[in-house]
Amino acid sequence: MTLQKSPDDAPKKLPPPPVEEVVKVLKVAPDDRTKEDITLTSRFFEEKKFFKTYIEQNNYDVVSQCSKFMFPESYETGEVVITQGDKGDTFYVLLKGKVHIRIIKNHQKFEFTLREYYEF
């Protein structure tokens, strides 16, 4: 967690950086990212539900390690990202836009939309 001392010496949490800065860092090859790059992306992702669990357990290393290896992907409207039944090997954090989900379970069709900052 990134903290900054305030004038009264009480730790003050820094706000997350803008998503544009995070995307810019994620476009840099993982081996070329600086410590500052990792800190910036960690500050952004530590507030997301999945990573917040690790922060609450004082396991900050998970966030920084993941931040080292994340990279951005872009998809066109209507393009399929995941097909139901595929083996899951990727974790997504939706930074911009939205994604439409269609699930068929027990012969019933469910549809919903995920918006920015959702994790799946």
Average pLDDT estimate for 10-25? 80
105, two tokens:
């379970």
pLDDT tens track for 76-110? 988 998 888 888 888 888 888 888 888 999 999 99
Q: What is the pTM of this model?
A: 0.67
55, two tokens:
């922060």
113/103 Cα distance (integer angstroms): 12
Interaxial angle between packed helices 35-45 and 19-26, expressed in degrees from 0 to 180 and rounded to the nearest 10: 130
Residue 46: how many other CB atoms lie within 10 Å: 20
